[in-house]
C-alpha cells in the first residue's frame, strides 16, 4: 500500500511540475540561419609540396620582345634529325660530353654539345647520333 501511495504522490508531483510553468509560451524570435559559404575547392598549387612558401623574389617573366638567338632557332629546327644536319646548320660545338644513356643503359650514349649560350642534347647509338633537345643557358 505504501508503494502505491508513494507512486501516486510522485506522479502528481511530476504532473504539477510540468504544469506549473503555465501561461502561453512566448514565441521565440529566431533569425533565418545564414548559410555559410562552402570552402573553395583546393587548387593544384595549394596542394603541392611547398605551396605555402613564398618566393623571396618574383620569378622572371619572359617577354615576347626578347630576341631569340638565330643559332638556337636553327638548332631547334634540327630536333629529331641526324647530328650532321645540325653541324651543317650551325657548325661544330665548342665542346662536348657523352655518358651512358639513362633511358637505354648499355645500349647508347647521351651527349651534350656545347655552344655559346646553349647546348644541344643528343642520343648516340652505334654510328647514328640524333638531336634530342636544345637547352638555352639561363645565365
pLDDT tens digit sequence for 15-52: 656 555 555 555 555 666 677 777 766 666 665 665 55
- The closest alpha carbon to 90, from 120, 125, 129, belongs to 120
CA distance 100 to 10: 95
CA distance 113 to 130: 12
Residues 73-109: tens digit of each pLDDT: 899 999 999 999 999 999 999 999 989 887 777 788 9
pTM: 0.51
Amino acid at each position: 500500500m505504501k508503494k502505491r501511495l508513494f507512486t501516486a504522490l510522485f506522479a502528481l508531483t511530476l504532473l504539477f511540475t510540468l504544469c506549473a510553468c503555465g501561461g502561453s509560451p512566448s514565441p521565440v524570435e529566431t533569425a533565418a540561419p545564414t548559410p555559410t559559404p562552402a570552402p573553395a575547392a583546393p587548387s593544384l598549387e595549394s596542394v603541392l609540396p611547398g605551396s605555402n612558401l613564398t618566393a623571396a623574389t618574383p620569378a622572371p617573366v619572359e617577354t615576347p620582345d626578347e630576341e631569340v638567338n638565330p643559332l638556337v632557332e636553327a638548332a631547334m629546327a634540327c630536333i629529331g634529325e641526324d647530328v650532321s644536319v645540325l653541324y651543317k646548320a650551325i657548325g661544330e660545338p665548342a665542346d662536348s660530353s657523352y655518358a651512358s644513356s639513362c633511358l637505354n643503359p648499355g645500349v647508347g650514349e647521351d651527349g651534350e654539345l656545347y655552344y655559346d649560350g646553349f647546348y644541344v642534347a643528343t642520343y648516340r647509338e652505334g654510328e647514328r647520333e640524333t638531336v634530342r633537345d636544345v637547352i638555352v643557358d639561363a645565365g
